[in-house]
Structure 1
Amino acid sequence: MEISIHNTHLPHPRPQWTENFARFGMAAKGVVYSLVGALAFMAAFEINGNSEQGAGKQGVFQFILEQPFGKILLGIVTLGLVCYTIWRFIQAFMDSESKGADAKGIGKRIGYAFSGVIYGSLAFYAAKLVLGSGSSSGGGDSRQTLAGKLLEQPFGQWLVGIVAIVTMGMGLYQIYKAISGKYLKNVQTASIKSEIKDMLMKAGKVGYIARGIVWGIIGFLFLKAAMNSNAQEAGGTSSAFQFLEQSYGSILLGAIAIGLVCYGVFMFVRARYEVINT
């Protein structure tokens, strides 16, 4: 009796480098968000003279750079963000999550690509600081620059308005993921020690809600920029923190800051326990 084996039916080995990129990238993202939350909390209560302007992601990079061995540390974080960017583009263009080519799937993959662009720009800025060519003052607000360039285009106010709506929609989706429990979808919670599992899961929920609120405020600032045709009214994370404190006080900003630390912690959980589709 002859036994034939067809190679086409054999499973292909998983591309381990893709999984490593994803995990390293999520860990780097966790570092950034943990520091963003910590600096925002310090700014809320004026600890060590910190301000909301220095609590955004670009301010975090400057903070890392000022620590002992700062260039090495920031270089590691930069490499992690590059890995995260590549992973997001793999998800978007190679459809590693099997989202498909229907309207819903395309929408998800566009979201992955958008995330890749955002973290790619952060990695580029951090790399400039490591190489000594970045501005020590933070380099201005990239969101204001984006809003200004869009406003210069035909139908510029409409373009900025679309960015505002998409950003607010992403913020609402983060909150939905938290409330619905979808943030746990690919995390192997059974592998987490029972004594810390509940705490980590709650941290993730709080973190996604806090992140959603910040995204919502950034979207609102873009909407104001669109309505008033003024790019200076747009802003990123640091501008959102300023808006929170000026409008609702230090207590709420401090609560959101703790939530962002929780999000950073949960990114470490994802880096360790998430199932990475390759």
Structure 2
Amino acid sequence: MSENEAHTSLVDKITEKLHDYSSSSDSDGEVPSNVLRIKKHLFGRTESVHNVLGCGKAADLVLWRHKQVSVAIFAGVTVMWLLFEWIGYHLITFLCHFLILVLAVSFVWSNAASLINWSPPKFPEVILPEGIFLQVAQSVRHEINEAFITFCYISSGKDALAFVKVIAGLWLLSVVGSWFSFLTLSYIVFVLAHTVPVIYEAYQDPIDSTWYKFMDQSKSHLTKISVAIKEAIKKIPHHPKQE
């Protein structure tokens, strides 16, 4: 087979495949399963939600992969918020009462174990490793240094857009902070962090589709507004300068 015949045969095969695809799309109205669809996700994300969150135990808890543990943490934080915010319980008072209860139960259990033939409580040997504190300290140090570098860069006047964004963000945060106490605001952030990711993971396709439709419509409206403003400016009569 010559080179021209081989080329002609390849073109014929490609044309036949395209014809089959177009006929199947026209008849059924659906894309065949062997054709890959490129899906657009929020923020240009290509990985799964679990991978974006770090693929660790924290991601499992946020996405409710271990439902019993996630429910226990959520319920515990909610009870703490109710105690401190609604009932007016104070943190030092709570810690003291909690330690009193633990010490009293352990003391009574230890002394009564020999009388009623119970095994005494076994206290675990807790030794905190030094590496954890060093890692936390290094992470905090890194974040503080990055914050100082960012602050110096923005305040130097080199990026006016970043300056406006930071000022707007701080002002918005100050307004939101005036609505809630620090504890309530922290609890709201906790609830959002433990509900939004799992809801988005379950319904990410319709959420992504709705988001990009909204963005496309917004860009279309903004373009129309921009064109209308330019047309209105052009219609404004300009008087020539008198010498």
| TM-score normalised by L of structure 1 | 0.22
Bigger Rg over Cα: 2
